[in-house]
Chain A
Amino acid sequence: MWSVPEAALTTQADTPAKVEVRDLSVHYGETKAVDGVNIDIPRNQVTALIGPSGCGKSTFLRCLNRMNDHIAGAQIRGRVVMDGEDVYGPDVDAVDLRRRVGMVFQKSNPFPKTIFENVAFGPRVHGLRDAVALREIVERSLRQSALWDEVSSSLEKSALELSGGQQQRLCIARALAVEPEVLLMDEPASALDPISTAKIEELIHELKNSYTIVIVTHNMQQAARVSDITAYFYLGKLIEYGPTARIFTSPTRQETEDYITGRFG
């Protein structure tokens, strides 16, 4: 009909998505936690998953690196295609998948080992033994997560002596040490103070140049600040997803608008 200048609201057209999810459903016994979700996760962008508690966004996130395999009674149907290969296919090794798809958790969970050992853990379990290579990887990962300057002189200290925000950045470095392609973050800053949160958000902004990032967050303003694409989940269904700027100024679905404006009904 008539063209509207949407220059600020265009998506990255034409580059294939990093992960294509088709008809994904997850059942725990009788309960349907995720119901028929179809979504494309674009590469080198930040996709935020928002929605009320229990809407399935964390369960969905865990499908992307097959962490739901460890939950007894979880039945997963549908396809999660990364770079053309279904990660639930019979030839795919979940252990190797998790090297390519890393995860950072809501509450930081460093191992009760030294800072160095924490970051080196990932490469070690995948078979890397060379001490020089390990040191390089540890330094590189800590630099990438903006923690190197603060800990470079005390790598042999216990990771548990770091502050909350530092521990979370350590967990990010640990995840980056195995050189993943996708980084999943489950409410990474929800347990942190505003300054640490801002540092993590800045970090995410830097990291998206090299990684595809999917972040689950309860905090809508954080989704608005940090993401390129926002997806709204409700009761296991994906209601709507699109460019963040559009979702927050004029969403298509009434349910989406009700949620982000605070009309929970």
Chain B
Amino acid sequence: MITSEAHRASRRRTVRLFELAGLLATCVGLVVLAVLVVDVFGDGLPRLSWQFLTSYPSRKPEDAGILAALVGSLWLLVLTALVAFPIGVGAAIYLEEYSTQGRLQRVIEINIANLAGVPSIIYGLLGLELFVRIMRPITGGRSVLAGALTMALLVMPIVIIAAREALRAVADSQRQAAYALGATRWQVTSRVVVPAALPGILTGTILALSRAVGETAPLITMGALTYVAFLPDLSLAGLQSPFTVLPIQIFNWVSRPQPGFHVNAAAGIVVLLVVLLLMNATAIILRNRYQRRT
């Protein structure tokens, strides 16, 4: 007899033990999150109103609004995406499909992985020196353009890694099939590999960008303002205008003594969470479409 009744019972117990432990671990995480969210929403939700969303900051808490910060965050997001996506995906395509497995390749790979782990404030310092000071004629100093470039640097390693994973996930048999039909390397990449990897690339990019939305330190470092009572021009000249973002605005309100501002901060957090939620939802929808097609 390979097993005895005692053995079988003991195995069953172990299984149940692990099930309970896993459930507990999950619950702890969820419970903590739920408590935080409920607390914030409890404070912030009543404050949400059309007025809140469309006003500029003010000395009086009940007049203050989040418009500049919201628009600033969104615009920064778009600009960051416009810079990080082409360069990051292009680099990933080059590394994955074109370069050979030499020593240079490995060096590049290691460095990209390292860059993804660098503390974000370092990027802030880099942005300050490079984009704000050195490239002042182009960026106009502490502008939304400089901010976007800084954030692009921040998220680029993540975009590259995610895009490479997505490209790698495309089965080699697909490339073989395309080559066997007489396609050139560029045709294989552009017509077969990238279209197949696109949902994965987009998912990775959106997740990288959602990290950028929540960043505060690097933006403060490179000079985003904390009190902006105007909207930057949505034009080419407006790229050079100063700006602020949601996390900074929230931070600013939290540091004020009046409790009214704390309520504003809570409402700001709610808005920030909604933005993040929407971004993550988009990523999830894209991932589901990806899984359905393969």
Given contacts A105-B176, A107-B173, contact A98 B181 (CB under 8 A): yes
Q: How far is the CB of B250 from chain A (nearest CB, A)?
A: 43
Question: Which residue of the partner chain, among B178, B179, B187, B293, contacts A112 with CB atoms under 8 Å?
Answer: B293
B168-210 with Cβ < 8 A to chain A: 171, 173-174, 176-184, 187, 191-192, 195-196
CB atoms of A98 and B174 under 8 A apart: no
CB atoms of B294 and A125 under 8 A apart: no
Q: How far is the CB of A187 from chain B (nearest CB, A)?
A: 13
CB atoms of A105 and B177 under 8 A apart: yes
User: Could you say which of A24-32, A170-178, A225-233 contacts chain B?
Assistant: A170-178
CB atoms of A178 and B173 under 8 A apart: no
Known: A97-B182, A121-B181, A171-B177. 8 other contacts (CB 8 A): A95-B182, A99-B182, A109-B173, A110-B177, A111-B178, A112-B294, A125-B187, A174-B177
Q: Kindly report which residue of chain A lies nearest to residue B183, judged by CB atoms.
A: A125
CB atoms of A175 and B180 under 8 A apart: yes
CB atoms of B191 and A67 under 8 A apart: no
Q: Kindly report which residue of chain B lies nearest to residue A112, judged by CB atoms.
A: B293
For A72, A103, A112, which residue has the most chain B Cβ atoms within 10 angstroms? A112
**Chain B CB within 8 A of A166 CB:** no
A129 to B171, CA, bound (A): 27
- Residue numbers in A under 8 Å from B4 (CB-CB): none
- Residue numbers in B under 8 Å from A36 (CB-CB): none
- Residue numbers in B under 8 Å from A67 (CB-CB): 176, 179-180
For A98, A158, A175, which residue has the most chain B Cβ atoms within 10 angstroms? A98
- Residue numbers in B under 8 Å from A175 (CB-CB): 180-181
| Chain B interface, DSSP helix/strand/loop, else mixed | helix
**Chain B CB within 8 A of A37 CB:** no
Q: How far is the CB of A244 from chain B (nearest CB, A)?
A: 26
For A95, A110, A125, which residue has the most chain B Cβ atoms within 10 angstroms? A125
CB atoms of B294 and A102 under 8 A apart: no
- Residue numbers in A under 8 Å from B184 (CB-CB): 95, 125
Q: What are 19 A-B residue pairs whose CB atoms fall within 8 Å in the complex?
A: A65-B180, A70-B179, A95-B182, A98-B181, A98-B182, A99-B181, A102-B181, A103-B180, A107-B173, A109-B171, A109-B177, A111-B174, A112-B196, A113-B195, A121-B181, A125-B187, A158-B293, A174-B177, A175-B180
B124-180 with Cβ < 8 A to chain A: 171, 173-174, 176-180
Given contacts A109-B173, A111-B174, A112-B196, contact A102 B191 (CB under 8 A): no
Count of B interface residues, CB-CB < 8 Å: 21
**Chain B CB within 8 A of A122 CB:** yes
A70 to B183, CA, bound (A): 13
- Residue numbers in A under 8 Å from B173 (CB-CB): 105, 107, 109
**Chain A CB within 8 A of B101 CB:** yes
CB atoms of A111 and B177 under 8 A apart: yes
CB atoms of A125 and B293 under 8 A apart: no
A152-177 with Cβ < 8 A to chain B: 158, 160, 171, 174-175
Q: How far is the CB of B55 from chain A (nearest CB, A)?
A: 48
For A72, A107, A111, A178, which residue has the most chain B Cβ atoms within 10 angstroms? A111
CB atoms of A178 and B293 under 8 A apart: no
CB atoms of B182 and A126 under 8 A apart: yes
Q: Kindly report which residue of chain B lies nearest to residue A158, judged by CB atoms.
A: B293
A119 to B12, CA, bound (A): 54
**Chain B CB within 8 A of A149 CB:** no
Q: How far is the CB of A49 from chain B (nearest CB, A)?
A: 17
- Residue numbers in B under 8 Å from A126 (CB-CB): 182
Given contacts A72-B100, A112-B294, contact A98 B180 (CB under 8 A): yes
A88-107 with Cβ < 8 A to chain B: 95-99, 102-103, 105, 107
- Residue numbers in B under 8 Å from A174 (CB-CB): 177, 181
